[in-house]
Amino acid sequence: MSAALDLLRWPRRKSDPARLALWTADEIAAATGGTAYGEFQVSGVEMDSRDVRGGDLFVALKGEAMDGHRFLEKAFANGAAAALVDREVDYPHVRVEDTTKALEALAKEARRRSISRIVGVTGSVGKTGVKEAIFAALERTSRGAAHRSVRSYNNHVGVPLSMARMAPRSRYGVFEMGMNHAGEISGLTAMVRPHVAVITTIAPAHIENLGSMEGIAAAKAEIFEGLEKGGTAVIPADIEQFAQLRDAAKAAGAKVIAFGRSEQADLRLLDAIPDGTGGSLVTAAMGETRLCFTVAEPGEHWIDNALCVMAAVYAAGGDLGAAGLALAEMGGLKGRGARVRAKVPGGYALVIDESYNANPASMRATLAQLGQTPATRRIAVLGSMKELGDFAPAFHAQLAEPVEAARIDHAILVGEEMTALAREMGKDANRALGNAPSFAHCDNAGEAIAALQEFGLAGGDAVLVKGSNSVGLARVVAHFTAREG
């Protein structure tokens, strides 16, 4: 009988006695400097009235073009328990002077009261997938007591919103931080104050605003400024900017764990072989320790991502066995590698959904992944890569090489910036050698759908859809997978 009682009591944590409510009215008022009208508790925080669920605090943010106060009625119809507002309303609420600043104050209070080990993630490529994998590993480690930023909530609004949602009982928090300009991550990392700061890699994303790869690395390295004392920086060892990142981390007083394939990596890849299902069987070394695990996500870039995840979990004090299981079960995220089937004449076509983001490094990686995907025909729908500035023509033209290497049968190029690639692929020399695929050049996603329909998908085809989010290629994915069987 005593064994059964012990089982019911096991295992105890110091957070177990904590209440379950996320915020009370008085706590919100104290954190934001506002005044509470009504007694209430909330179980979540939301800024979009369409996403409000029962028990949420609706934050009525006000910007230049939109005022969240206009959607209070809808938010409460969807179950909001209270609102954070800048005026008196006929609902339970906390009134403040500025709801955006109040959300930031609520986030800082969430961080102050947290007992969590905090992981901050940034990088030019792969940060959302890596963030999700770290979260999956730490959620296993903590038996469900991990928290993370959802979707790509990585900017000046998304980060504080994600932090305000972190429960006092959470043992781990994983937050993604993005930027377009220098100085943006400084503000975010000061709010997040991570114990572990992760940079996935450096690539020419946002080079239009930052001028050079070194400028991009310096902007990403701002994440080290917010590290808690004794914190750890997790950085890629295989890039030209390794020394720059390492020196920035050490200047911030951080311990450094480098991951990668080179001799300077602390967590180093020893071997990776295909697992027979599109993923990889990976062996890595961490000092004298050998790590063997499966990575379900296809592509060479996910081997590197997996090393990054393992290093971050180790630095956060998580369970590397749990991390290995999480990596073995990871599925692609919508817009970031999800693999879905499209019902087409003759059976099904595989659609690889990479429609959310694109830069030269990620384009090359996903084209290589398509080239390794078994298929009757390989089709690439490639949208413009944005924020490359004066570098754009050269970077787009250079995609001709990975398109050829991937043995693409047909390409649909979407957007004005893709003119440079269309010109390169249409050169007589390429056609004479028989290396260049057939292609069409379209202005927008609607034309791309029509071009793909005209080409005619068939059973056994594999289609990569990738471009910057503003190109709208998610429409292409949605159109062809709506008939998924």
Please name the residues in contact with 430: beta carbons below 8 A apart, sequence gap of 6 or more: 400, 404, 424, 436
Rounded to whole angstroms, the Cα distance separating 137 from 172 reads: 10
111-133 pLDDT tens trace: 999 999 999 999 998 899 999 99
User: How many Å from the N-terminal Cα to the C-terminal Cα in the chain?
Assistant: 52
- Token look-up 């009370």 returns 24
Count of structural domains within the chain: 3
Rounded to whole angstroms, the Cα distance separating 403 from 410 reads: 10
- Span 264-292, mean pLDDT? 93
Return the pLDDT at 8: 45
The CATH number of residue 80's host domain is 3.40.1390.10
The side-by-side arrangement of strands in the sheet containing 146-148 is: 146-148, 172-176, 117-122, 196-199, 232-236, 255-260, 267-274, 280-286, 289-295
Q: Is residue 237 part of a domain?
A: yes
Does residue 243 sit in the same domain as residue 137?
yes
Q: Does 19 score more than 70 pLDDT?
A: no
Does residue 455 sit in the same domain as residue 378?
yes
Nearest to 106 by CA among 74, 78, 142, 82: 82
Two tokens at 270? 């020893």
Does residue 457 sit in the same domain as residue 308?
no
Domain range for 394 is 338-481
> How sure is the predictor about 430, in pLDDT bands with cuts at 50, 70 and 90?
low
216-250 pLDDT tens trace: 999 999 999 999 999 999 999 999 999 999 999 99
Does residue 191 sit in the same domain as residue 325?
yes
| Adjacent-strand bridge partners of 147 | 173
Which of 309, 329, 349 lies at the terminal end of a domain, its last residue?
Answer: 329
Does residue 390 sit in the same domain as residue 305?
no
Q: Is residue 278 part of a domain?
A: yes
Does residue 72 sit in the same domain as residue 188?
no
Return the pLDDT at 432: 45
329-344 pLDDT tens trace: 987 778 888 889 999 9
Neighbours of 54 (CB within 10 A): 10
DSSP letter at 151 equals T
Return the pLDDT at 5: 45
Q: Are 468 and 357 in contact (CB under 8 A)?
A: yes
> How sure is the predictor about 44, in pLDDT bands with cuts at 50, 70 and 90?
very high
- Span 173-180, mean pLDDT? 94
What pTM does this model have? 0.83
Return the pLDDT at 437: 87
> How sure is the predictor about 13, in pLDDT bands with cuts at 50, 70 and 90?
low
Out of 126-130, 383-387, 434-438, least confident range: 434-438
Does residue 221 sit in the same domain as residue 243?
yes
Does residue 171 sit in the same domain as residue 189?
yes
Return the pLDDT at 1: 43
| Residues 380-409 as b or e (16 or more Cβ within 10 Å = b) | bbbbbbbbbeebbeebbbebbebbbebebb
Q: Is residue 109 part of a domain?
A: no
141-163 pLDDT tens trace: 999 999 999 877 899 999 999 99
Which of 97, 131, 147 lies at the terminal end of a domain, its last residue?
Answer: 97
Q: Is residue 10 part of a domain?
A: no
Q: What percent of the chain has pLDDT over 70?
A: 94
Does residue 211 sit in the same domain as residue 353?
no
- Span 22-44, mean pLDDT? 97
Does residue 275 sit in the same domain as residue 299?
yes
Return the pLDDT at 361: 87
Nearest to 58 by CA among 100, 95, 93: 93
Does residue 278 sit in the same domain as residue 380?
no
- Span 59-77, mean pLDDT? 94
- The one-letter code for the residue type at 101 is K
The CATH number of residue 397's host domain is 3.90.190.20
Does residue 305 sit in the same domain as residue 350?
no
